[in-house]
């Protein structure tokens, strides 16, 4: 059995709860039914040891024995090698999954994350920049829509590519940005109805709520 430890923050503010990227790793571990521990580092005061594992001072990272991996995409590819529940074992299916992992993170999230942040911080829009971000996201969704209308999951069966693609679409859905793209919206609903997502999400919420309780008691 691999000796897996997922590290996340000890606490985060209310807003990002349910969206912190340790969720992607929890979700993959639950899909693969791999046993793992969860460790915490301070959200407030980030140590040199933290930066040694995650050079940008972010979370998550995953350790397996002496190996330490940061970046949710890299972690999910690593776990994909451990379980056919996460990535097809044949070279052609594996290659398909890797393409869609990058498509989720570098074609879709590069548009969806800034767009969602503008919504979250309440940018009034209307500027050339905000207009660019709207169009950037719209063109990605326009072409993703027929892909997702034609299949249940991106690569034959459910894979890490679906964990990442659905998770990068979740913040868009949260701000009602998928209304004109029903196949994208249904795909997010289908992915997040999976028991492994439900458990991963609940576990993250409990993790941060426990931190509130500890703070209140301190």
Binders of its own copies among residues 3 to 32 (CB under 8 A) are none
- Tokens for 55, please give them: 């050079």
How far apart, in whole angstroms, are the C-alpha atoms of residue 208 and residue 7? 13
172 binds its own copies (CB under 8 A): no
Q: Where are the alpha helices (DSSP H) in 54-194?
A: 72-80, 91-102, 109-121, 128-149, 160-174, 182-192
Would you list the DSSP string of 23-71? Answer: HHHHHHHHHTT--EEEEEE-SSS--HHHHHH-TTS-S-EEEETTEEEES
Binding track over 128-167 against its own copies, x by CB under 8 A: xxx-xx--x--xx--xx--x--------------------
Which tokens is 199 given? 């458990």
Q: How far apart are CA 3 and CA 189, in angstroms?
A: 32
Of 106-114, 172-180, 182-190, 203-211, the window that binds its own copies (rule: CB under 8 A) is 106-114
Query: Given candidates 17, 43, 71, 174, which one binds its own copies under the rule CB under 8 A?
Result: 71
Among 30, 31, 109, 167, binds its own copies (CB under 8 A): 109
Which residues here bind its own copies, judged by CB under 8 A? 51, 55-58, 67, 69-74, 77-78, 92, 95, 98-99, 101-103, 105-107, 109-110, 113-114, 117-118, 121-125, 127-130, 132-133, 136, 139-140, 143-144, 147
């Amino acid at each position: 059995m691999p000796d897996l430890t997922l590290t996340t923050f000890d606490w985060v503010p209310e807003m990002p709860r349910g969206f912190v990227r340790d969720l992607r790793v929890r979700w993959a571990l639950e899909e693969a039914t791999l046993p793992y521990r969860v460790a915490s580092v301070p959200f407030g005061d980030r140590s040199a040891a933290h930066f040694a594992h995650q050079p940008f001072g972010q979370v998550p990272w995953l350790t397996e024995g002496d190996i330490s991996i940061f970046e949710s995409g890299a972690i999910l590819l690593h776990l994909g090698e451990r379980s056919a529940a996460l990535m097809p074992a044949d070279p052609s299916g594996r290659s398909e999954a890797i393409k869609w992992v990058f498509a989720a993170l570098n074609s879709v999230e590069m548009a969806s994350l800034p767009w969602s942040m503008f919504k979250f911080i309440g940018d009034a829009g209307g500027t050339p920049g905000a207009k660019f971000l709207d169009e950037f996201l719209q063109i990605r969704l326009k072409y993703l829509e027929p892909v997702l209308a034609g299949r249940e999951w991106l690569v034959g069966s459910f894979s890490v590519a679906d964990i990442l693609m659905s998770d990068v679409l979740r913040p868009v859905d949260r701000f009602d940005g998928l209304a004109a793209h029903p196949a994208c919206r249904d795909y997010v609903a289908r992915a997040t109805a999976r028991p492994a997502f439900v458990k991963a999400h609940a576990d993250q919420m409990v993790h941060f709520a426990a931190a509130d309780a500890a703070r209140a008691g301190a």
